Structure 1
């Protein structure tokens, strides 16, 4: 037996039919000190090679004959290896003069997880031109496979398949037609240099029924996006009826794109959603505009405009634009899904810019801002809310020493030498009322304020001590007379505080496991004299939420306009048990409280505080094993011992696609709410067995979240759904209920069909489930070619 070695051009067969393939992860080895070499599992093995280095060809067969520079023939169990390429056949002929390789008999090409089989192959190796007859193909990255009439190689970067199919469903004994879903094309042309694929006469058949068709469909190969139609959107709810939208993606440039989605609603009419995105070297952002020119229900035009833009004028001068505005007060009820804000009844239009200056001793920031609001009020007086003030404009300067950030954010022991730290903020604001403000809101005006402090931090390896002097000074000029009849007023309020704490550790055990326990006591002394603020306007101050962290705040109000008088000590401690083996926190317990050294006159609820001890806040959390989590907070009134507020949460998750969580929330005199969320198998084979394969059976899963208001005795925002996983396709369906008033709800039907390896069709049920269910995991997360998506 003789063998020959050839120097040939690489064969790029790995990306064949990349319409359904992402870039696969590489397998790699990892070795650390004291640990043996371990291989990471991967669905394909990628090889990297310098483009200017051509690998040698290795030809192996039962019999090889060769005529010098003319013809080489291999017969019987032929194997040709060229870099990462493996070609197998019964016979192979290579014509040196024409540079033509011809293989026949059970031809098989495999590279990077792609396997192609056919009866015969002819290939001009140097030009990489030729064809593979009647090919069948399989891709390990997705588990997808298919066939074609012929596959033509049109050069190193181009190929075309005639009458091609693709599916991730298994082939039954009866053949291809028994697949649950299949993508059928008349021709499929792939241009890897341009990063584009074009399918002509494309049809998706599901259970033998065509559900999606396009005369010409383009798609990206790799990471480069391409213009073309996207899967349609379908939504059904009681306010708009049935909605169908067809998105079109426009790849304007590598750094700019747009999506247009014409849609029609059976109750309201036709409209369009649009999005434009850009990414420049110094500027980036998106513009979204949803437009319904003639809403048949409301009898007017409806729209939503969103701007999200950021940029840098220079290395130290940047700007931000974050704005959303809608056409009317009822938009949040009818089109909540089209809005991006987390507060659907209060929309912000925020434009700001900031310039930074860095010095050896600290930092200086100068900034300007315009902040407006759109309040979406309802006719019911009980459901109306007080709107925040607009800043038109806000101009200021902040100066702080280099180490001041760590002091403000929560000091930690460093062991460095003590030195003076400080900061000052000077700011001007013009306060106006937005559209939608209540009739009782009348005060507008201007404010100039200065906030400053000086501190002298001391610290050791496990402790800190920070004495600090602060100053809050403000001057006001109002458009309407104040309570004292004047239009101008000023006030200055000093504060002295001392913050002291420790972080102690010891080795111990918890439930028989080695652990490290910490004890973290903390003490804060605050002395702020009383200043009468009855006549001072309140533009931006609000009571702080009373919780485990705010107990140690020097001022019980946020903002500038209100400063609580205080002569008090805040104290508390936290202890944690941390497992030695994995470093996970298993148990945490804590308690904080305040003690007043004198009566407090300026309080969040407006009632003077004469009781010396404040409410006590208790904290507890536990993660005793991999399946159970629990955490809770409890606020007890120190006067009568009653519970003021509490939050209790419990979660059980014994494995993938199995999670149960429950929570209870109480705010005394305000709200009491129960919540239950879940994702759990209902019936059918175990999820691990449903990976696609001959004879596999589907499985049903339940998923949802229920919120119940015990105060109102009704369900509020909730979603209940079910998922069917066949192995190669997943059906999600359910009902989502959103409260839009005390007696109003919006009920939406969610329905989504995901063909594993292709894009999903229908409403975005996956996003609804993921946003509502703690610990929810997509059933297709390990199989979809597109991973997780919104």
Structure 2
């Protein structure tokens, strides 16, 4: 998995305090310690108990509020050596001998052994018998250790080892410590699994030599073989792996997938950690049906600019006979103090790219790819901006599946003003120049192009106090047009000015209430919005950017049923609604929200989204609700009810049941009368074995006993109107404790009679890497409430239980 790009910050901490130890049961007193060593034992504890609170130097010792990590590097080497043992003897300035439950400590290095000798001249510690050495959360154990403490140079005979960051380790014939951050293990193994009944762990990496470099966050294995349940699945003369979740250069695990359009696909990424704030990834790939491809990505993060560029290139597609590509660029620069430059580019080679490579277009609108260059700068209460925007529209030969192309802006230049004047007046103003052009779309005919200058302004004065507010507002929308041609006749230039008067009022009432056995605070929040906009003829004016707003909780309390500038609905209406919320009185968290809203027209509305006058006095009734009914049940619903016809016109209703971690199931029903009716089901649910999962997320004993936990995951979207499955995602995840297997099949519609199907398989070796195609992003994006079986990151502790 490619790591995230972040800036790095270094901090230096100070040393902590020395803990006291109680006398042991035997009451054995230690002998004199060598100079430079701080002895700890019965005698040391006894003398410390009678020591004054203030030392002779006048320095007072105080307890620290929290345990601080010991300093590292040169600062750590200046710390004193602390030895604790049942028996301690030695010669001043020469050596020391410790026997019986020995603990030898300097900074983050702690050695436990049955017997330890220390030569002061050579700074050499020799430990024998049940030797354990821990450093920065990493643990080594074995029968014999020799170590030059300050340089951290020496060797460990026949040790076992484990890294705290990954929870993985292994055995070795010998480990040579080259310095504090580098070591070499000979005849070594590496795994995060305990041994099974046969004595071998489920997965095991064995190598003649493993070089460990914690500064580079890298382990390099020579002549390495990776076995899974005894079967070799990967072998390489050189194989590198990370020691924690930090970034490192090297080859990443291969990806393997099956796609109905491209066949078997294999790729192997190479990650280049150029600098702490720059990296690149190169991914050669091979498709059984299409041929060779290369994906590249470069990312950078500087103090004044940041961005990324990705190019996916297939020089020759054997299915189409053409070169295929996808380009994505994002860049932001901040200069001259507060001037912001932004660049966005999205382009693909052809109209069918979104069908053939659905996951390689990182966009919510996969058939509408936008590119833009913008510049913005604030001046006090003013903000100015300029932008050029272009679109690539991916059309189809089927007329029923074509999409409408938006206009391009070449350019867009504007300024906005926002200020609260004396007397409590909220004033806003916007003016903008646009030149609208058609994108390169062969299906566009007879559509206006030209220029528009518009101005939007408003002045409002809120009145109120605690619990209520009334806000009258006067606003206007003015625009002037100059067209390049008149495809349907009419004028080439026109202008209009449309004022609007509105009064918005809301109240908040509270009381104590009981819901599902809980005492909560219930609010009652009525709201009234009066709007009066006169009629101005607009059917002879172009429509560059106005679209009907969706009828929902937010849009019903707005002054215009259109977004954009070119259309302003004539309205003389009153919108009334009421919302009730249930809040936790201790935290203020919202438990449940329900509401209802409706519009009343005082006169017919002539400017409407469908072009037909609206003569009905009452609009559709909007009912909504969302929240957690209990700690396990969540609901979310929006219903549009037509009182005249006595039926539901639109509805989106969902319910989700989540009784615990890795257990969630949800259903959603969508209805738009005459257009669609769909039922969606999504879930993550254990099939068996999940009761062995511990509170920290790990699966106790699973790896050794081969009794893991099996989970089913999926999402199915079914159209009852068309009697077919639109999209589906079904898979299984098996967590064996130290490895996780995933198999996920996805089917995605690309047209009324077309679909793309792919199979994703992944083996995650916990503490090493993931092999295969990664379905995690797809699972998180498609299954509400989905939770990964393993956290992405683990932070080791530099402390031992002694601390």
Q: Alpha carbons of 1:478 and 1:280: their partners in 2 closer, same or farther (altered >3 Å)?
A: same
Structure 2 distance, partners of 1:575, 1:147, is 63
1:381, CA displacement in angstroms? Answer: 0.6
Q: 2:249 aligns with which of 227, 240, 256?
A: 227
Match of 1:353 in 2: 375
Map 1:406-417 → 2, pairs under 5 A: none
Q: Tell me by how many angstroms 1:320 deviates.
A: 1.4
Contact between 2:34 and 2:94, CA under 8 Å: does it hold in 1? no
Residue in 2 that maps onto 1:342: 364
Question: Which range moved further: 633-642 or 492-501?
Answer: 633-642
Q: Distance in 1 between matches of 2:292 and 2:156?
A: 48
Other-structure match for 2:23: none
Cα distance in structure 2, aligned partners of 1:688 and 1:576: 36
Q: Indicate which of 694, 700, 706 corresponds to 1:691.
A: 700
Kindly tell me: are residues 585 and 193 of structure 1, through their superposed partners in 2, closer, same or farther at Cα, counting changes over 3 Å?
Answer: closer
Residue 33 of structure 2 is aligned to residue 4 of structure 1: yes
CA–CA distance in 1 between the matches of 2:745 and 2:270? 27
Give me the whole-angstrom Cα distance separating, in 2, the residues matched to 1:691 and 1:585: 36
**1:757 offset after TM fit, Å?**
1.3
Distance 2:581 2:334 in 1: 43
**Secondary structure, aligned partner of 1:716:** strand
CA contact (8 A) 2:33 2:92 kept: no
The C-alpha deviation readout for 1:576-623, integer Å capped at 9, x for no partner, is 111334543232210111111111101112111111111110012241
CA contact (8 A) 1:387 1:438 kept: no
CA distance in 2, matches of 1:699, 1:91: 44
Judge which range, 62-71 or 372-381, deviates more.
62-71
Pairing 1:392-431 to 2, within 5 Å after superposition: 392-402=410-420, 418-431=423-436
Q: Deviation of residue 141 (structure 1)?
A: 5.0
Residue 476 of structure 1 corresponds to: 481
Aligned twin of 2:553 = 548
In the superposition, relative to structure 1, how do residues 672 and 8 fare at CA in structure 2: closer, same or farther (>3 Å)? farther
Q: What is the 5 A alignment of 1:378-397?
A: 378-397=396-415
Tell me, yes or no, if structure 1 residue 135 matches structure 2 residue 159: yes
Whole-angstrom CA distance in 1 between matches of 2:252 and 2:165? 23
1:507–1:713 distance in 2 versus 1, CA, 3 Å:
same
Asked if 1:775 corresponds to 2:785, the answer is yes
Q: Deviations over 1:293-339 (max 9, x none)?
A: 11000110000000111111222210111221100000000001111
Per-residue deviation, 1:158: 2.5
Q: How does 1:513-532 map to 2 (within 5 A)?
A: 513-532=518-537
Give 2:441's match in structure 1, choosing from 426, 436, 448. Answer: 436
SS at match of 2:568: coil
Cα distance between partner residues in 1 of 2:681 and 2:35: 67
Q: Report the Cα distance in structure 2 between the residues aligned to 1:153 and 1:140, rounded to whole angstroms.
A: 18
- Give the whole-Å Cα distance in 1 for the aligned partners of 2:659 and 2:206: 41
Deviations along 1:669-693, one digit per CA (max 9) or x if unpaired, are 1111100011111123524163346
For residue 300 of structure 1, give the secondary structure of its aligned residue in structure 2.
coil
What RMSD in Å do the two structures reach over aligned CA positions? Answer: 2.3
Residues in 2 aligned to 1:626 and 1:428: alpha-carbon distance in whole angstroms: 52
Do the aligned partners of 2:523 and 2:582 also contact (CA within 8 Å) in 1? yes
CA contact (8 A) 2:34 2:90 kept: no
Q: Which deviates more, 770-779 or 428-437?
A: 428-437
- The change in CA–CA distance for 1:137 and 1:150 in structure 2 (over 3 A counts) is same
* Contact 1:129-1:155 within 8 A present in 2 as well: yes
Q: Which has the higher mean CA deviation after the structures are superposed, 502-511 or 713-722?
A: 502-511
The CA distance in 2 between the partners of 1:138 and 1:153, in whole Å, is: 15
1:172 to 196, 204, 219: 196
Aligned counterparts of 2:345 and 2:209: Cα–Cα separation in 1: 46
Q: Is there any run of 5+ residues in structure 2 with no aligned partner, and where?
A: 1-29, 39-64, 797-803
Distance in structure 1 (CA, Å) of the matches to 2:487 and 2:216: 69
The answer to whether the Cα contact below 8 Å between 2:241 and 2:768 also exists between their aligned partners in 1 is: no
Aligned partner of 1:458 in structure 2 is: 463
- Structure 1 stretch 217-226 or stretch 374-383: which is displaced more? 217-226
CA contact (8 A) 1:756 1:785 kept: no
TM-score by length of 2: 0.88
Q: Which residue of 2 aligns with 1:109?
A: 133
**What is the aligned residue count?**
734
Return 269-278 or 634-643, whichever deviates more.
634-643
Query: C-alpha separation between the residues in 2 aligned to 1:655 and 1:580?
Result: 25
What residue is the counterpart of 2:348 in the other structure?
326
Mapped to 2, the partners of 1:65 and 1:215 lie a distance apart of 49
Tell me the SS of whatever aligns to 1:591. Answer: strand
Structure 1 residue 365 corresponds to structure 2 residue 383: yes
Choose from 315, 333, 347 the match for 1:293: 315
Greater relative CO, 1 or 2 (CA 8 Å, sep 6+): 2
State how far apart, in whole Å, the 1-side matches of 2:733 and 2:510 are: 48
Given the alignment of the two structures, is residue 200 of structure 1 paired with residue 218 of structure 2, yes or no? no
